[in-house]
Chain A
């Protein structure tokens, strides 16, 4: 992840911005969306390790002062599903309790609530997202590490057979 952020730094113009948008908390709430209102029926537990690793990577690039955070916004985002299968697949992609009975019961409950409803009602998940905005910092005083130099862009090489000396080694 740190490599990805360093690459982002490299391809950004001076004062360019980096946006990190991802779930802020580990529970996504599952329910139904009825007349534009979200009715919660339960929560699925997301995998948390990826988030922690991403946080560590962001902390590292901030410590190196190649980016400066300028803004943070937290907001709720709904995800609407056309079928219970779509909800199952989507949650399964990141839920720690993937395939568990509790999760399956939650999906079934949400689907039953949708079918019972007389007004228009859709299966939904509500995720709390955090958007962080970072500005690229060009710090002439900061010595570039050898690794930063290694990441300098090189156009892709045309494939050519390796020299004979290399092959015989």
Chain B
């Protein structure tokens, strides 16, 4: 169970803005600095296959714990550094820096 002490964007305006930017369905998306995975979950909810990276293991642990089962197949989290991405060239349709640039 995830303690909800901070809830960002309860009106989901961020999601609405993201919907306007792309279709997202079946897209492979990299969420750089995913933190607790809030945006990764929302992108997965739009149909994207999301890889969330963050240098903080604690955040990723929280993100994995808070990931709903229905999205588990669409989201994966990895420890990673934005300046040295461990992914092959041309492997994502979208890269998102949310509060992380």
Q: Is B14 an interface residue (CB 8 A)?
A: yes
Q: Is A82 an interface residue (CB 8 A)?
A: yes
Nearest-neighbour CB distance to chain B for A104, whole angstroms, equals 18
Compute how far the CA of A140 lies from the CA of B94 in the bound complex, rounded to whole angstroms. 21
CB <8 Å contact, A129 and B14:
yes
Q: Is A112 an interface residue (CB 8 A)?
A: no
Nearest-neighbour CB distance to chain A for B17, whole angstroms, equals 5
Contact count band on A: 35 or more
CB <8 Å contact, A80 and B30:
no
B4, B10, B30: the one contacting A11 at CB < 8 Å is B30
CB <8 Å contact, B99 and A8:
no
Nearest-neighbour CB distance to chain A for B87, whole angstroms, equals 5
Residue of A nearest to B98 (CB): A21
Q: Which residue, of A17, A58, A73, has the highest number of chain B Cβ atoms within 10 A?
A: A17
A1, A19, A22: the one contacting B95 at CB < 8 Å is A19
Instruction: List the 6 shortest-distance A-B pairs measured between CB atoms, nearest first.
Output: A4-B82, A86-B5, A82-B5, A8-B95, A3-B83, A54-B101
12 contacts between A and B (CB under 8 A): A4-B32, A7-B83, A11-B89, A12-B94, A19-B21, A19-B95, A19-B98, A21-B14, A22-B101, A82-B7, A131-B17, A131-B21
